[in-house]
Amino acid sequence: MLDILTQDESSESIVTTNRNLDERSGRSIVDGDSTIFKHSGKADIRKDCRKESKVSWVALRKLKAGDLEQEDQNLKCYLKCFMMRHGILDKNAEVDVQRALRHLPRRMQDSSRELLDKCKSVEGTDPCDKAYNMVKCYVGHHPEILRNVHFL
């Protein structure tokens, strides 16, 4: 299996496509895809947000594994930072649904529009908590997003 990075012209993301090459023809067979957020020439957003929030690798791995019941303030602030740097959240932790949709794989965009509209109204005790609650809301309905969006 081979991972190939390609630019998705309709969004600001880079798509990793897992491909198996047919031994005889050399053609690729697409198995699946996932979205990796592009850092648009800026410093690595994930690295910057990990440093800024002081989130632990343990908390990030738990989230990636689907553990949505963590009460880790650093993790919450990491998610806020990550989403703000990608323009998904503004400084008041309000969601830009259109921008969020552009960061999702195309096959998930239509089914996600209504859910993002629902999840953007969640509350939180502070912007970090609100960002985390929004992620919990979305992932609770679309757990496959944890395999598709690379935030580690």
State residue 29's pLDDT score. 38
The pLDDT of residue 30 is above 70: no
In the predicted structure, residue 145 carries a pLDDT above the cut 50 = yes
Q: What is the pLDDT at residue 152?
A: 59
Query: Phi-psi category of 44—alpha, beta or left, where left has phi over 0 and alpha has psi -120 to 50?
Result: beta
Mean pLDDT of the chain: 76
Tokens (6 digits) for 40: 């648009």
Which of 132, 134, 139, 107 lies closest to 35, judged by CA?
Answer: 107
DSSP state of 18: E
Section 85-111 average pLDDT: 88
79 close to 131: Cβ distance less than 8 angstroms: yes
For CA atoms 79, 133, 60, 112, give the dihedral sign.
negative
Joined tokens for residue 48: 């910057």
Higher pLDDT, 80 or 92: 80
Decide if pLDDT at 74 tops 60. Answer: yes
DSSP per-residue letters across 24-48: TT--EEEEEEEEEE--TTSS-HHHH
Q: Checking DSSP bridges between strand 28-37 and strand 149-150, what pairing results, if any?
A: parallel
39-45 LR contacts (CB < 8 Å, sep 24+): 40/12, 42/85, 45/81, 45/82, 45/85, 45/86
Structure tokens at 61: 């791995």
More confident residue, 6 or 98: 98
The type of residue at 59 is A
